[in-house]
Amino acid sequence: MTIKNTSLPDTPSAAISAPLIERARFAPGDIVRHRMFDFRGVVFDVDPVFANSEEWYQAIPEAIRPAKEQPYYHLLAESEDSAYIAYVSQQNLVADGDEGPVDHPQVEAMFDGLDRGRYRVRSIHRH
């Protein structure tokens, strides 16, 4: 006779203990704006959860430090006076495709033009 443990559903134990991870709202080519700081950018890569250094994470003031268990986005970013690479949590981004192109020197190397508010990823950069 076999006795089955019915106290837990038949699911892998990793699924039971793993934190719930949000789905990415944005994809490469999407234009976004930071909720708190005055910059915008185009997504060129997505991490399903935080994947930067602990030193970088701890440098964010605790009062505004986002959770690690959410998507993080690599952006070709622009502010009023500079262009740079940014790494931003999903909770701090909103869609911004209606504001026109992003003025970053690497946009043309990664993307093949703007189409209806989002950039087309060059085929060489597609996974």
Quick check: is 84 in a domain? yes
pLDDT of residue 99: 81
Using a 10 angstrom Cβ sphere, with 0-12 exposed, 13-18 middle and 19 or more buried, the burial of residue 94 is exposed
DSSP-based three-state secondary structure for 44: strand
Q: How many domains does the chain have?
A: 1
Task: Provide mean pLDDT across the span 12-41.
Answer: 81
> What pLDDT is recorded for position 15?
45
Q: Does residue 18 surpass a pLDDT of 90?
A: no
Residue 58 lies in a domain: yes
User: Is residue 64 one of the residues assigned to a domain?
Assistant: yes
Domain annotation covers residue 91:
yes
Range of the domain at 60: 22-125
Which one has a higher pLDDT value, 87 or 126? 87
Beta-carbon contacts of residue 43 (< 8 Å; ≥ 6 apart): 26, 27, 28, 29, 30, 31, 32, 73, 74, 75
Mean pLDDT of 41-53: 97
Q: Is residue 127 over pLDDT 80?
A: no
Read off the CATH number of the domain in which 88 is found: 2.30.30.390
Asked, for residue 7, whether it belongs to a domain, the answer is no
| pLDDT (tens digit per residue) in 59-101 | 999 999 999 999 999 999 999 999 999 999 999 999 997 788 9
Both tokens of 85, joined, read 């690479």
What is the DSSP code (8-state) at residue 30? B
- Residue 35 lies inside a defined structural domain of this protein: yes
Token pair 């970013």 is found at 77
Q: Is 1 among the domain residues?
A: no
pLDDT score at 125: 54
Q: Once rounded to an integer, what is the mean pLDDT over residues 18-32?
A: 86
Residue 3 to residues 6, 9, 10, Cα–Cα distance (Å): 9, 15, 14
pLDDT value for 111: 96
